[in-house]
Each structure stands twice: as structure tokens, then as C-alpha cells.
Structure 1
Amino acid sequence: MTRQGDARRHESADPLRQVIIEAADELYYANGFRAVGMDALRQRAGVSLKRLYTVFPSKESIVLAVLDYRHQIWADEIAAAVAQQATPRDRLLAIYDYLAGWFRSDSFRGCVFINAFGELASESPAVATKAADHKRDFRRYMERLATEAGFSEELGDQLMLLAEGAQTTAAITGDSSMALKARRAAETLLGAEASAQAQSVP
């Protein structure tokens, strides 16, 4: 299964635009956003600098396109992992199984949205907004999974925080076990809320 840390082709109405996005995605994720100049991107994409600027008028516009690309990969792959599970509870825990596989990949460099926010948010409000939108979308997704399983939205928020913390800690420390530790913490939270719900029934 393709992980978020690996490039994956999505169909595009403009093949050249997609080639540039995928080249930028690989370079930015591996090396950082600031470290990659337009000339390096031109070489990786196999286009002239003039053609590159025709498709994307600025580096910021490329970064935003890459973040859109990564958001769709994340959403598609999380949804696919969740859909493989039969029960609502297992669908919640599937998030951490997905993360465990991603963390073990050689290309794992953490969350690209956190990386982009850390490097560029102070100078690009558009990048900051894109990163915030991605995190809000994941939060809403976890809340929905939680309520579908009969739990509270707040539990969905707590499970989202576990997943986010695991991503950051694994990226900084290189410890891929953070996903499974987050999964065990998630199981504890699920059990505690289920117990509380059972006790509240007259």
C-alpha cells in the first residue's frame, strides 16, 4: 500500500502540471521546502524554467498545489484503510495501523503539513491556512468515525490528537513504534468511554 511519504500519481487534466507537482512533492518532502529551489525542481521535472513558471507563477503556488495533492493522498488512503475494517471500533483503530505502516517506510519524514507550516507559515498565510484546513478535515473525520461508533465527538478529538502526536514524535525521534503505542492508548480511551456509557444506563 502506498504511504503518505511516497509519491502517488493522481489523474490530472494537465499532465505537465501533474509531473511538476509530483517532482516538487518528492523534493520538498525529502529535503524541505526552503532547501529546494526552482532550478532543482526544473531539473527533476524535466522542464525549462520558463515552462515551469508558465504553469506555476511562483514557488508558493507550487507548494499549495503539493499540499492539495498530499491532502488527497492522505484522505484516500485513510479512507481505504478504514473501509477494510468490519466494525466501527476497528475502523477507529485502523488509523493507527495505517500510521504504523507509514512510519516504517524508508521515506517517512513526518507530516508534510506540519513541515510546511513550520517552514513557511510566517511568510505565507496561504500555506498556514492550507495546513490548518488539512488538520481540521482530519479532526472532523475522526469525530465522525467516533460518533458512528457510538462515542462522543470529544473522543474523536482525543483520538485525533493521539494520531497527530504519534506523527510528530515518530518523525523527530525516528521511533516507528509510536503508532502502536498511540493505538494502545486509543484502545484505553475507547474502553473507558464504553465503560462510562454502560454505567450511565439506568
Structure 2
Amino acid sequence: MARTSKEAAMVADGARAHDARTGAKPSARERLLSAANELFYAEGVQTVGIDRIIERAGVAKASLYNTFGSKDELVHAYLKARHAATSARILAALERFENPRDRLLGVFDALSESFKGPSYRGCAFIAASAEAGPGSSTERASNDYRAWVRGLFTDLARQAGVPDAESLGRRLHLLYDGCAVSVRMDGDPGAAAAARATAEVLLDAALAAPKSGHLG
């Protein structure tokens, strides 16, 4: 497979596993999403035209419009698929940890895994939203993903006993974003380890704060 992220590979692997179980060939929708995962992530949403997606998927142009209606809706479906794959990967990685503290810090371990290999091209949601208009389906999909990440950090912080879980969740979300940008822009292989160490300091400070306190 050409340049794709681990999330894109998970989407494709899931489709192949389904096909192996059922004996079915990939549907036009599955082929279009697989092509979109590969091309949009590697080259950008605006750079890649419909004709290239159709050619890579091996379907008729009518199949794309009958299935998704427009390129915007295909982009939306692509981002939703990445959201599903990313959340599944992170939650699966957290299952190996036995307590809430380790699970919270383990999000950064899971993030580190996604950086490995030459296929990493940065956060797909940051890239796509930079090209999207206000109120677009792309912006909505990106906002949904970001709300999930922050909600995950907040829930894990609450489970770990942090008095102000929402404030810590916000801070860890900022750290999560910065880590991804550093790896993409600076090629910094140690970014995830640094982010995890910083997250641990923030977590310990939050746990030590009085219950009436606020991190700001």
C-alpha cells in the first residue's frame, strides 16, 4: 500500500477482513473510502481531485456521486472513518493498562505508535480543517474528533481522581496537538516521550491540587 497513516491502514485492514469472512468483493463505497484515505492523507484534500479518487478506486464517476453526492461528503466520510479508526486504536492500546493514571498517560504511548514509519503526515484533521470553510462538513467532522480527544482526556482525568478534570483535559489536549505538530513539522522523534513526561507532571500537579482549586 502506498503512503498512508496507521489509521488509514486500519480502515483498509477492516474492509479486507470483512471481505475475507464474507467472500464479498469491496463495495464501491469501500473502494472510494480506501482511495480517499490514501490520497487525501498523503497529498491533501484540496490537492486531490475527484478524477484521481475515481481512478484509484476503479469505479465509475456516477458511483461516487450516487454514494456520497459530492466531494465534500466524501471528505466528511473519510474523516469520520479516520476518527473511528483512531479512537479504536487508542482505546485498544489503553486496555493493557490496569489503572486510570496509566491509562491517561498511555494515550501518549498510543500517539507515539502512530508516529512510527515514513507514512506519518501529521494530523489529518488539522490538515483538512485548514483547507475547509466555516460551517463545512469537514469542519464539523474535525470538531467531532477534537471533542472526542478532549472528552477522553477529561474522562480519564476524572477516573484518576483529578479534582478539576476539565481543566487538565484541556491542557493535555493542547499537549497532544503540539506533539503531533512537532513530529510533523520538526521531525522530532522524541516529541511523544517529552509530551508524556510533561503530561505526567501536569497530572501529578492536578492530583495534588485542593478539590476547590482550579488549574485555570
The TM-score normalised by the length of structure 1 is: 0.89
Q: Is the Cα contact below 8 Å between 2:122 and 2:181 reproduced in 1? A: yes
In structure 2, the CA distance between the partners of 1:180 and 1:5, relative to structure 1 (3 Å rule), is farther
Aligned residue among 137, 148, 173 for 1:137: 148
User: Given that residues 5 and 102 in structure 1 are in contact (C-alpha distance below 8 angstroms), is that contact kept between their aligned partners in structure 2?
Assistant: no
Change (3 A) 1:79 1:6: same
Contact (CA 8 Å) 1:139, 1:156: kept in 2 or not?
yes
Name the structure 2 match of 1:95.
107
Report if the CA contact (8 A) 1:7-1:22 is conserved. Answer: no
- The equivalent residue for 2:126 is 114
Structure 1 range deviating more: 153-162 or 136-145: 153-162
**Matched residue of 2:189: which SS?**
coil
Correspondence for 1:189: 202
> What is the CA–CA distance in structure 2 between the aligned matches of 1:196 and 1:125, rounded to whole Å?
40
1:23 deviation in Å?
0.9
Structure 1 portions without partners, runs of 5+: none
Give the drift of 1:113. 0.7
Q: Distance in 2 between matches of 1:195 and 1:158?
A: 16
2:38 aligned residue: 26
State the shift of 1:77 in Å: 0.7
Deviation per CA, 1:130-158: give whole Å up to 9, x if none. Answer: 21121012111110010001013111221
> In the superposition, relative to structure 1, how do residues 102 and 5 fare at CA in structure 2: closer, same or farther (>3 Å)?
farther
What residue is the counterpart of 1:149 in the other structure? 160
User: Which residue pairs with 2:53 in the alignment?
Assistant: 41
Change in CA separation of 1:166 and 1:5 when aligned onto 2, cut-off 3 Å? farther
Change over 3 Å in CA distance of 1:165–1:132 after alignment to 2: same
Distance in 2 between the 1:141 and 1:101 partners? 18
Q: Which TM-score applies when normalising by structure 2? A: 0.83
Rounded to whole Å, the distance in 1 between the matches of 2:185 and 2:9 is 18
Runs of 4+ in 1 over 6 A off after TM superposition: none
Instruction: Tell me which of 138, 143, 168 is aligned to 2:181.
Output: 168
Counterparts in 2 of 1:34 and 1:120: CA distance versus 1, 3 Å: same
Alignment partner of 1:8 out of 6, 11, 30: 11
Q: Which amino acid is 1:163 matched to? A: Y
How many corresponding residue pairs? 197
Match of residue 192 from structure 2: 179
Question: RMSD in angstroms over aligned alpha carbons?
Answer: 2.2
Residue 8 of structure 2 contacts residue 82 of structure 2 at CA under 8 Å; is this kept in 1?
Answer: no
Identity %: 35
Q: Separation in 1 of the partners of 2:10 and 2:159?
A: 31
Please report how far the alpha carbon of residue 7 of structure 1 lies from its aligned counterpart in structure 2 after TM superposition. Answer: 4.7
Shift of 1:53: 2.2
Structure 1 residue matching 2:98: 3-state secondary structure: coil
